[in-house]
């Protein structure tokens, strides 16, 4: 655990304010769910909850299936990190923080398509929880097939969280 030097008091309703600086660094936004843990020495630990993390095994299977079928790299992320990668060097992506551009696309709930990248946000109950990204093979461009495939995958993963 890393000390921040910031001290906050609990109010009469049992609430504690997470300082803006910490929320910014950890990309915690209003309405984001936090998991609460307790430590053996009396610590209270708040951890940003990743609903897509519950689907990481399904996300891995999806990424591997699509990548092997299309022969293209496929990435699945939550709102902070990549949780599945296939067709690329997994160590270059897995558990790495997502880029600001991807975060913006996810938060805007907007679909993004160019010749070099397809990104579809994963929505659960209308809330953005992650994304499916398909990248082209070297020297190739992406088509509507990859866009539709990413859209199907994002819809499927989102529906799994709805249930």
- For the stretch 94-126, pLDDT in tens is 889 999 999 999 999 999 999 889 999 999 888
Full strand arrangement of the beta sheet holding 74-77? 82-86, 74-77, 127-134, 117-124, 112-114
Specify whether the CB–CB gap between 111 and 151 falls below 8 A: yes
Specify whether the CB–CB gap between 146 and 134 falls below 8 A: yes
- For the stretch 2-32, pLDDT in tens is 777 888 899 999 999 999 988 888 888 888 8
Cβ neighbours for 162, distance < 8 A, ≥ 6 positions apart: 124, 125
Q: What is the token pair recorded at 60? A: 């891995």
CA distances, 79 to each of 14, 26, 34 (Å) = 28, 11, 13
CA distances, 21 to each of 6, 45, 107 (Å) = 10, 17, 20
- For the stretch 17-76, pLDDT in tens is 999 988 888 888 888 888 888 888 888 888 877 777 777 889 999 999 999 999 999 999
Quote the pTM value: 0.76
Q: How confident is the model at residue 43, as a pLDDT? A: 86
pLDDT at 139 over 70: yes
């Amino acid at each position: 655990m890393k000390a921040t030097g910031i001290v906050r008091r609990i109010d009469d309703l049992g609430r504690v304010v997470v300082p803006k600086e910490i929320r910014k660094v950890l990309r915690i936004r209003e309405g984001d769910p936090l998991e609460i843990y307790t430590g053996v020495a009396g610590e209270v630990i708040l951890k940003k909850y990743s609903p897509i993390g519950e689907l990481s095994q399904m996300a891995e299977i999806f990424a591997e299936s699509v990548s092997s079928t299309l022969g293209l790299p496929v990435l699945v992320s939550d709102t902070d990190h990549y949780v599945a990668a296939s067709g690329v060097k997994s160590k270059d992506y897995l558990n790495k923080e997502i880029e600001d551009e991807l975060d913006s696309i996810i938060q805007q709930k907007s679909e993004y398509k160019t010749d070099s990248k397809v990104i579809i946000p994963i929505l659960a109950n209308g809330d953005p929880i992650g994304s499916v990204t398909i990248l082209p093979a070297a020297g190739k461009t992406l088509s509507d097939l990859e866009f539709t495939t990413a859209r199907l995958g994002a819809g499927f993963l989102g529906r799994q969280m709805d249930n």
